[in-house]
Amino acid sequence: MTTLRTLKDVATRAEATLLQDMLGAGALAVMLVVGLYLPSLI
């Protein structure tokens, strides 16, 4: 139960930057996929 409480506390404290973190992770995923497919396109 303490793990869930800890995750909830972290989420409430980081609520302001949570969207930015998700966008950053999405951008990294897109760059990874593009980087992996780039050699087959050239």
The pLDDT score that the predictor gives to residue 28 is 98
- pLDDT score, position 23: 94
pLDDT at 36: 94
Distance (Å, whole) CA 4 – CA 26: 24
Q: What is the pLDDT of residues 1-42, one digit of tens each?
A: 799 999 888 888 888 888 899 999 999 999 999 999 988 877
Half-sphere CA count of 35, side-chain side, radius 13 A: 6
- Ranges assigned E (strand) in 1-42: none
Please give the pLDDT value at position 33.
96
